[in-house]
Chain A
Amino acid sequence: MNDNTTPSTGWLSTRLPFLRPLCQHMARFPMPPVNLFWTLGACLLVAFGLMFVSGLFLSLHYQPDLSQAFDSVEAIERRVPSGWIIRSIHTGGVSMLFAALYLHVGRGLWYGSYKAPRELVWLSGLFMMLLFMTTAFAGYVLPWGQMSYWGATVITHAVEAIPGIGHGLLVYLLGEDTLGGIALHRFFILHFTLGFIIATVIGLHVLCLHGTGSSNPTLDSPRPDHTTRPFAPFYVVKDCLAVCVFLALFAVLIFFLPDLLGKLDNVILANPLKTPADITPEWYLAPWFAMLRAIPSRLGGLIAAAASLLVLFVLPWLDRSPRHNATYRPLVRAGMGLFFIAFITLILAGMHGATPLWVWLSRGAMLVWFLVFLVLLPVTSYRERQMTGSSTQGETS
């Protein structure tokens, strides 16, 4: 936008010559006529930034030590000046981040953002989602309350289901026979380090996106809109607006509903002799917990939960139709709708007790999950390729 450099920017761009082309690229980056769902990325970036900064400040006061971890978290809540608000940002932020993350992925599924040529954007994003899930799990162990301890016990014991090497791998990962101080320290280092790793992968994700450009939701519609607008100022302003709304919701969550998502059992010090009566994971990991529970075999549950994530990675090759937008693909529209309902069902199932109703609902939801991705999408895309092949060559973007 700004070609005439003032002396100060000229000084910098003479010494860092890549700076000006980079800024120009970011500012002029051509955006197709996208809708508000395309602002979730900016919200995620802000959520991650808040998690990163609040996490850094929490780590200044946290002690990754078996005898001090719980007390240091209590001290952050009660004695560290403003510690309560920093911890609220961190514990509330994880829900805001995952809510935006799942909507972001859902947008990618609905609008076919995973398709060629954006496979790398999709894969780097999925990889980042796995990193976020790992980070969230490791972080949940750190306060060393009852839910931390028993959640970590249950999930690490899932590793034991791997035939042959299971137990040896578990002991190797924990560093001792049971979950204790060595494992707690490892979880802390893992959680802390992953923050920086995710920051790097975010850079990679954005780099991949800027290679191909954003997908265009109007291309499959009867009236495709090919106009593009520069990212600055049009989409900067749009993103800022979405971020403001996102931050307002964030503030409502941490200031008005601080106990909505927390669990009382986790303000009780970990007791290896007493499992809490109701042990359920946080909502954002609940779907996979429900899957582990729905399969009556330990190894089977682990395989199903892993497969449900792995199937997303091969999506660009399962659905090779030139059409992107589910709105204009009746079968896919129904399938994606069913998948979203199945995902929400799995969240609810994971947060409820293992009653026969919820177990059968989880099984139904898992069936929908795999049928949509493994049957519906390949079949539909095959039919659509046949159709577009017989008429004109489909538009690719």
Chain B
Amino acid sequence: MTQKHDASFPHPSLDEEGSLLPHPTRRTVLTAGSVALGGAGACTLAVPFLDSLRRTQASSAASTREQAVMDVSVQDLAPGAHKIVVWQGMPVAIQHRTPDMIHALEDTALLAQLADPQSRIRQQPHEAENAHRSLRPEYGVYITICTHLGCVPDYKDIASLPASGGFFCPCHGSQFDGAGRVLRNMPAPYNLPVPPLHFVDDHTIRLGESLLSPHYSLNSIQQL
């Protein structure tokens, strides 16, 4: 292609596509540039406003840890009894199982009805991936927030099966067994989460800190 240095000669590409793209005048360029700059300025201004909606930072690192870790005494919990504690604003059910309840968790009729009987989906630390889905068979600790849409399930055993201390969600009827495992064909897709925890002594559970899986947290599970 030969170069033409005649100022009056329009640029070939513009000339050919002139019907699609009209020749931009200086005013068009200036207007578009100003609008683009102004738009960029408005977007920049929006950053702090949107940023302020993020979670507020804790007042200090110490208070973050204070909120994160909680010791719960289970001395007052008789076999067969349970209690609900609030940890980080979430309900955590702690049940003291009788030998019958522990046995009921391995009932073959129950296992056949469960969606994830082997706890393959990560809703618990590795040390709780067992038949009783807890650190010690006699204590079950679960965050009772239904994995369907976040309601809090009540304590209710599964009908027609040995009592293991199950959970029943009042919102859409999801049924869980005593180890927080959801039954098949329920609205809830996953088992109830197990919080990070360890036993400080035989009667004290520390929520929020796992000794065997130090990296396990509620951010690392499939779904809260």
Contacts and interface: CB of A to CB of B under 8 A. Distances in A.
Interface in B31-53: 34, 38, 47-49, 51-53
With most chain A CB atoms within 10 A of its CB, the pick from B34, B38, B51, B58 is B51
A60 B49 contact: no
A53 interface: yes
B52 A60 contact: yes
A54 B58 CA distance: 23
Nearest to B31: A233
Contacts of B53: 57, 60
A75 B60 CA distance: 12
Contact of A85 (B48, B56, B58): B48
A74 to B, nearest CB: 10
Nearest to A87: B52
A79 interface: yes
A389 interface: no
A82 interface: yes
B34 A82 contact: no
Nearest to A88: B48
Given A82-B47, A240-B34, A57 B52 contact: yes
> Interface SS of chain A: helix, strand, loop or mixed?
helix
B51 A82 contact: yes
Interface residues of B, number: 13
Contacts of A83: 52
A204 B56 CA distance: 39
B54 interface: yes
B49 A79 contact: no
The CB with the most chain B CB atoms within 10 A, among A53, A54, A75, A80, is that of A80
Contact of B57 (A54, A61, A81): A81
Interface string A40-70: 0000000000000110010011000000000
A86 interface: yes
Interface in A148-175: none
Contacts of B25: none
A79 B52 contact: no
Nearest to A71: B59
Contacts of B49: 53-54, 57, 82, 86
Nearest to A243: B38
Contacts of A60: 52-53
Nearest to B34: A240
Contacts of B56: 61, 75, 79-81
A62 B188 CA distance: 38
Could you say which of A53, A81, A83, A240 has the most chain B C-beta atoms within 10 Å of its C-beta?
Answer: A81
A60 B50 CA distance: 12
B55 to A, nearest CB: 8
A125 to B, nearest CB: 27
Given A60-B53, A240-B34, A79 B58 contact: yes
Contacts of A53: 49
Nearest to A89: B48
A92 to B, nearest CB: 14
Listed residue (B38, B48, B52, B58) with the most chain A CB atoms within 10 angstroms of its CB: B52
5 contacts: A57-B52, A60-B53, A61-B52, A80-B57, A82-B47
Interface of A: 53-54, 57, 60-61, 75, 79-83, 85-86, 240
Given A60-B52, A80-B57, 4 more contacts: A57-B52, A75-B59, A79-B56, A86-B52
